[in-house]
């Protein structure tokens, strides 16, 4: 009865070893995503772009220096508890080798920020999440890459100031925001900008989910502001655009955040969205060389992640590609330092993310010129850029109406530093000395 | 004063939109004595069915007809596969079944019709009426007025239907006691199928109006959030109660949103707002304390 036991065990052990070897030659990406639920449409585009780029690197270059990219996706439905569950499920594999974790949810980011630091796995929060993590001396494993809500708000004010010929003195700006951590983050920055530029700032919150805003827009009509800076998410965005139309507020005086500036936000609002503007840290368009090449290489091979190819080149698809570009560049950097042709672990990727230097020349090599801004990170600056473009909806597509605009770093970054130091004090964290980092 | 009136009217008109969703709850409650947790999901399904059919090339009128057909079939299927097994079970069992149904619809509907947020143009522009704007300086939306008119027609029809038709009377009997209604020959299964079909139609109207206003997307399921305080105030069993409850919620939450923050700020300091998220529930709580059956609900007396 037991005659076959030994050979069977040996075979099983051999298979286990082989599979480990195979796994060791791959670079694993834990993908904590959402493609169904209230924000599923946004997740489909973002994670579609993300996975397409990973596939593209495998198909076009055979991986990174021969190391193929592998990934496993876990569905959160944009639910914090499920986000943590997914993370715990993928953690064991990620401890062997990992790409940065992108959860595209401020709530899930907050839930994971301490856990990822404990597990030494880098958490990327590109355009969301805990913004004072810009200070890497307190948050070594968290990266609010590219730009933050505060820097975005500051850049929007700069854009408005340029439109007003450099003078905002006496102007009225309403900040209409989702009444949540996401919506409240830029308030301090805007208040600082208001003091500096002498404009009157009115704060108007909108309760979640934001599908009813008539009171707020009547208040805006009463205030008669020069501009409305708008921090919405999901259904709140279309509702605001339609409500602006209802009270006769000009859409080209309304500037949204990057979570209020995708096709998913404007298309459902129909004609009311024409002229509406929003910030973005990545541009739309399938004519970006990289996006066109992804279509050719990945979809040509029948390995595209999106069922609906019309999403290729949309804001959120291109944002997913941009997130993957930065992740792959970080892995390249880690391999350069720790050994080419080998998978890298969380600590090594963390180092690389803290030493990213993606120049215009490098973006051109990738085919991503102007898709996203150049980025240079450091221990003291996990953001690395702070730049956005302003884009305008022409009724059918987003069109950039500015170059890259950098927020007022001198004004905003000290706010991050103060907040991070306060966090360190509360948590008993000793900030590391960034001067000693290399 | 002009601003106060503007906020008040805008609130009343928003309240009508809440009432439209609340009506669906009332219908199901009247027929089965259960709070239909899936009503918000039905609104979403109905609106998605309309835009889904339009994307396949159907004109609006045909898409609406097809969506109505889908909602009727859905009602019949719900009766056959869910409710029939639960006749004479405690209301909590039916309530739990509707929770399951909500998740089922929320998963199935986007799978069939796609999950991208889409615009729905029903030919009524959400813009201010020029004459009122120029004459009184007040913003009253054409769309909101049209929605109010549609709601008025719907409520009148439903109220007459419940009051004066045989089905309406049978329906009220079923709500009182399933077993007693069956024993005197009322066809419970037909009644439930009819009422779920009518609730589907109400969901279709609500879905089209909300969808045209904010886009057709998953967030339509959230429209049910405001229906609960509307029902508590108006009464779970009253069609006119759903309208009055909606008007009270709409007007009071808008006035609270505008005028309470300043009062709270002077009392406590800081920045207040987003009050309309919680205010209706506090108001409903107050009603529960003084009039638990709502303004128009039937007083429930248990004899022991």
* pLDDT at site A358: 97
Q: What is the pLDDT of residue A20?
A: 40
Nearest CA in chain B to A178: B274
Contact with chain A for residue B252, Cβ under 8 A: no
Which among A41, A203, A219 is the nearest to B115, CB-wise? A41
User: Does any domain span residue B304?
Assistant: no
> Is A238–B110 a contact, with Cβ atoms under 8 angstroms apart?
no
The verdict on residue B132 lying in a domain is yes
pLDDT band at residue A6 under the 50/70/90 scheme: low
Q: ipTM for the complex?
A: 0.87
Distance in Å, alpha carbon of A267 to nearest chain B alpha carbon: 6
The predicted structure's pLDDT at residue A438? 60
Out of A179, A204, A218, whose CB is closest to B7?
A: A218
Search chain B and give the residue with CA nearest A204.
B273
- Among the partner-chain residues A37, A44, A238, the one whose CB lies closest to the CB of B218 is A37
Predicted confidence at residue B125, as pLDDT, reads 86
* pLDDT reported for residue A366: 96
Residue A394 scores a pLDDT above 70: yes
Residue A7: per-residue pLDDT: 52
> Given this structure, which CATH class describes domain A21-147+286-376?
alpha beta
Across the interface, which of B116, B222, B274 has its CB nearest the CB of A206? B274
Question: H-helix or E-strand containing A350?
Answer: helix A346-354
Interface of A with B in 37-66 (CB under 8 A): 37-41, 44
pLDDT in tens, B132-142: 988 888 889 99
Q: In terms of Cα–Cα distance, which of A351, A390, A386, A300 is closest to A126?
A: A386
pLDDT average, residue stretch A229-238: 93
Residue A18 has pLDDT above 80, yes or no: no
Q: How many structural domains are present in chain B?
A: 1
* B62 domain-assigned: yes
| Cross-chain Cβ contact B257/A215 below 8 Å | yes
Cβ <8 Å between B210 and A215: no
Q: Flag whether pLDDT at A3 surpasses 60.
A: no
Q: What is the pLDDT of residue A330?
A: 97
- pLDDT band at residue A13 under the 50/70/90 scheme: low
The answer to whether A207 contacts B110, with C-beta atoms less than 8 Å apart, is: no
pLDDT bin (cut points 50, 70, 90) of residue A39 is confident
Work out the average pLDDT over A152-179.
97
User: Which B-chain residues 85-144 have CB contacts (< 8 A) with chain A?
Assistant: 107, 110, 114-119, 121, 126-128, 133, 139, 141, 143
A212 contacts on B by Cβ (under 8 Å): 14, 17, 226, 276
Q: By three-state DSSP, how is residue A206 classified?
A: strand
* Contact between A207 and B278 using a beta-carbon 8 Å cutoff: yes
**Domain contains B232:** yes
Domain A149-280+390-409 class, CATH top level: alpha beta
Q: Assess contact for A288 and A366: CB atoms under 8 A.
A: no
> Does residue B255 fall inside a structural domain?
yes
Contacts 24+ apart (CB under 8 A), B96-102: B98/B28, B98/B34, B98/B35, B98/B36, B98/B37, B98/B38, B99/B37, B99/B38, B101/B37, B101/B38, B101/B41, B102/B37, B102/B38, B102/B40, B102/B41, B102/B221
Band of pLDDT at residue A5, cut at 50, 70 and 90: low
| Lookup: tokens for B40 | 């918000």
Which CATH number fits the domain that encloses residue B246? Answer: 1.10.3470
Residue of B nearest to A237 (CA): B214
Contacts of B259 in chain A (CB under 8 A): none
What is the least distance, in Å, from the CA of A310 to any CA of chain B?
12
Q: Is position B299 within any domain? A: no
Between A234, A245, A269, which is nearest B219 by CB?
A234
pLDDT tops 70 at residue A15: no
The 10s digit of each residue's pLDDT in A293-334 is 999 999 999 999 998 899 999 999 999 999 999 999 999 999
Helices (H), chain B: 2-32, 39-55, 60-78, 91-113, 130-136, 142-164, 166-176, 178-183, 188-214, 227-234, 239-268, 279-290
- Give me the pLDDT at residue A180, please: 86
Structure tokens given for A240: 């605001």
Q: Which residue of A has its CA nearest to B129?
A: A246
* A204 closest CB neighbour out of B107, B273, B277: B273
Please give chain B's pLDDT, 304 residues, in tens.
Answer: 889 999 999 999 999 999 999 999 998 888 777 889 999 999 999 999 999 999 999 999 999 999 999 999 998 898 889 888 887 788 889 899 999 999 999 999 999 998 889 999 999 888 888 899 888 888 899 999 999 999 889 888 888 888 888 888 888 788 777 778 888 888 888 888 888 888 999 999 999 999 999 899 999 998 888 899 999 999 988 888 999 999 999 999 999 999 998 888 888 877 777 888 899 999 999 999 999 888 987 777 767 6
The answer to whether position B298 is within a domain reads: no
CB-CB under 8 Å, B14 with A212: yes
Q: What is the pLDDT of residues A70-87, one digit of tens each?
A: 999 999 999 999 999 999
The alpha-carbon gap from A128 to the nearest alpha carbon of chain B, in Å, equals: 21
Per-residue confidence at A165, pLDDT binned at 50, 70, 90? very high
- Write down the pLDDT at residue A9: 52
Task: Return d(Cα B194, Cα B200) in angstroms, integer.
Answer: 10
Structural domain spans, chain A: 21-147+286-376, 149-280+390-409
pLDDT of residue A59: 97
In a domain, B123, yes or no: yes
Compare CB distances from B274 to A40, A207, A270 and report the shortest one's residue.
A207
């Amino acid at each position: 009865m037991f005659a076959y036991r030994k050979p069977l065990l040996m075979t099983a052990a051999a298979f286990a070893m082989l599979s480990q070897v195979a796994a060791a030659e791959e670079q694993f990406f834990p993908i904590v995503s959402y493609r169904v639920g209230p924000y599923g449409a946004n997740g489909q585009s973002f994670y579609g772009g993300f996975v397409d780029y990973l596939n593209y690197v495998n198909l076009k270059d055979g991986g990174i220096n021969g190391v193929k990219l592998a990934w496993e996706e876990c569905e959160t439905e944009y639910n914090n508890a499920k986000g943590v569950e997914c993370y715990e499920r993928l953690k064991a594999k990620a401890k062997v080798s990992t790409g940065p974790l992108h959860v595209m949810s401020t709530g899930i980011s907050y839930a994971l920020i301490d856990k990822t630091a404990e597990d030494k796995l880098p958490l990327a929060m590109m355009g969301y999440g805990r913004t004072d993590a810009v200070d890497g001396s307190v948050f070594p494993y968290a990266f609010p890459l590219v730009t933050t809500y505060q820097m975005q708000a500051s850049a929007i004010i700069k854009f408005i100031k340029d439109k007003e010929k450099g003078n905002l003195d006496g102007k009225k700006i309403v900040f209409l925001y989702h009444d949540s951590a996401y919506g409240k983050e830029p308030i301090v920055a805007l208040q600082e900008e208001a003091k500096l530029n002498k404009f009157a700032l009115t704060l108007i919150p909108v309760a979640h989910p934001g599908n009813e805003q008539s009171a707020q827009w009547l208040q805006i009509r009463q205030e008669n502001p020069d501009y409305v800076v708008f921090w919405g998410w999901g259904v709140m965005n279309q509702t605001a655009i339609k409500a602006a139309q209802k009270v006769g507020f000009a859409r080209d005086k309304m500037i949204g955040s990057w979570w209020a500036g995708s096709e998913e936000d404007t298309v459902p609002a129909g004609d009311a969205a024409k002229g509406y503007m929003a910030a973005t840290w990545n541009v739309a368009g399938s004519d970006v060389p990289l996006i066109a090449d992804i279509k050719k290489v990945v979809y040509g091979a029948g390995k595209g992640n999106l069922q609906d190819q019309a999403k290729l080149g949309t804001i959120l698809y291109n944002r997913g590609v941009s997130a993957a570009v930065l992740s792959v560049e970080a892995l390249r950097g880690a391999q350069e330092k720790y050994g080419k042709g080998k998978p890298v672990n969380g600590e090594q990727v963390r180092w690389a993310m803290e030493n990213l230097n993606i120049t215009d020349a490098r973006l051109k090599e990738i085919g991503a010129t102007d898709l996203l801004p150049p980025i240079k990170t450091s221990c003291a600056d996990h953001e690395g850029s702070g730049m956005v473009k302003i884009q305008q909806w022409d009724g059918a597509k987003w069109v950039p109406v500015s170059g890259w605009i950098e927020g007022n770093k001198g004004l905003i970054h000290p706010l991050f530093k103060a907040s991070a130091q306060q966090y360190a004090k509360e948590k008993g964290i000793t900030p590391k000395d960034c001067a000693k980092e290399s | 004063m002009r601003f106060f009136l503007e906020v008040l009217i805008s609130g009343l008109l928003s309240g009508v939109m809440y009432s439209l969703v609340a009506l669906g709850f009332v219908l199901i409650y009247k027929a089965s004595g259960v709070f239909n947790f899936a009503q918000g999901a039905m609104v979403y399904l109905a609106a998605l069915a309309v835009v889904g059919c339009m994307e396949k090339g159907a004109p609006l009128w045909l898409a609406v007809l097809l969506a109505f057909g889908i909602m009727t079939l859905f009602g019949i299927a719900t009766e056959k596969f869910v409710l029939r097994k639960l006749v004479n079970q405690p209301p909590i069992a039916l309530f739990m079944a509707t929770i399951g149904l909500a998740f089922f619809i929320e998963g199935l509907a986007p799978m069939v019709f796609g999950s991208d947020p889409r615009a729905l143009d029903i030919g009524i522009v959400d813009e201010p009426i020029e004459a009122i704007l120029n004459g009184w300086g007040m913003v009253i939306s054409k769309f909101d007025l049209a929605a109010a008119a549609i709601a008025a027609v719907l409520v009148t029809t439903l109220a007459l239907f419940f009051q004066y038709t045989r089905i309406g009377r049978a329906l009220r009997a079923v709500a009182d006691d399933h077993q007693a209604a069956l024993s005197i020959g009322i066809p419970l299964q037909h009644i439930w199928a009819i009422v779920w079909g009518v609730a589907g139609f109400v969901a279709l109207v609500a879905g089209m109006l909300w969808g045209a206003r904010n886009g057709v997307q998953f967030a339509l399921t959230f429209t049910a959030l405001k229906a609960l305080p509307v029902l508590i105030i108006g009464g779970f069993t009253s069609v006119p109660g759903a309208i009055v409850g909606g008007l009270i919620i709409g007007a009071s939450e808008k006035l609270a949103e505008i005028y309470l923050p300043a009062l709270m700020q002077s009392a406590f300091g800081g920045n207040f707002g987003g009050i309309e998220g919680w205010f209706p529930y506090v108001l409903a709580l107050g009603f529960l304390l003084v009039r638990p059956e709502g303004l128009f609900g039937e007083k429930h007396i248990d004899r022991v």
